[in-house]
A and B are shown apart, each in its own frame.
Chain A
């Protein structure tokens, strides 16, 4: 059973298009994240949701809009795709309890290529 799953695994699209990436976790976690990993393998957090509420919103273009329909799902919609958006996008989840520190579980990634 896949703990954190993402679809699609690969996404090739033209500049200017709008696309969505979906993420689902079956771990019962209450916090989910989106990360961007660039070609140099640098991992940067983009957003974090706790129980469907946005709690971390890093400096990300407003073309990127996360949406959490329930605490098991966190989708990422990207408008007007640009060449610089090409990267691997990882979804992650963790259990959070106040100040308790919990491990993050990552999905397999979505490889986005903008042409």
Chain B
């Protein structure tokens, strides 16, 4: 059962453009909504995260938008740069007890000069 659906699978954006990646989930027990960034040959690393009590969080060029009723959250990268080229994963977590993280299928972003 696929609990987390991420789209698109791949994305090519011009330098300076806006990159948008979406994540839809089914599990209403998810209570923490992070995005991880993975560069080739490296492990994933937390990029930005949001809790369900707010609808948007911005850190520099990165913004998470959260729609609890639609069970969706998205990552927006403003002024995309070639250095942003990586694979991005949404990874919602269940609250309480020990953490089980369900990773999305990943989005490979390529920012071209």
Indicate if B42 sits at the interface (CB-CB under 8 A): yes
- CB-CB under 8 A from B103, the residues of chain A are 42-45
B46 touches A41 (CB 8 A): no
B-contacting residues, A40-82, CB 8 Å? 40-45, 48, 50, 55-56
Q: How far is the CB of B42 from chain A (nearest CB, A)?
A: 6
Segment among B11-19, B53-61, B77-85, B91-99 that sits at the interface with chain A? B91-99
Task: Take A31-B98, A45-B101, A48-B100 as given contacts and tell me if A101 and B108 are in contact as well, using a CB distance cutoff of 8 Å.
Answer: no
**Of B32, B34, B103, B108, which is in contact with the most chain A CB atoms at under 10 Å from its CB?**
B103
For B, the interface residue count at a CB cutoff of 8 angstroms equals 25
Partner among A42, A43, A99 whose Cβ is within 8 Å of the Cβ of B95: A99
Interchain CB contact under 8 A, A99 and B96: yes
Name the B residues within 8 Å of A101 (CB-CB).
31-32, 93, 95, 99
CB interface residues, B 24-53, toward A, < 8 Å: 31-32, 34, 38, 41-46, 49
Q: Is B7 an interface residue (CB 8 A)?
A: no
Q: Which residues of B contact A104 (CB under 8 A)?
A: 46, 99, 101
Which of A31, A90, A107, A109 contacts B99 (CB under 8 A)? A31
Do the beta carbons of A41 and B106 come within 8 Å of each other? Answer: yes
On chain A, the residues within 8 Å of B96 by CB distance are 98-99
Cβ–Cβ contact A42 & B101, under 8 A: no
Contact, CB under 8 Å: A90 / B43: yes
**Does chain A have a CB within 8 A of B72?**
no
Interface pair A102/B99, CB less than 8 Å apart: yes
Contact status of A99 and B97, CB under 8 A, knowing A41-B108, A43-B103, A44-B103: yes
Those 5 A-B pairs whose CB atoms lie nearest each other, nearest first: A106-B43, A43-B103, A101-B32, A99-B96, A41-B106
Q: In the complex, given contacts A96-B98, A101-B93, what are 17 additional A-B residue pairs having Cβ atoms less than 8 angstroms apart? A: A40-B105, A41-B106, A42-B105, A43-B44, A43-B89, A45-B101, A48-B98, A48-B100, A55-B98, A56-B98, A56-B100, A92-B43, A94-B99, A99-B97, A103-B46, A108-B43, A109-B43
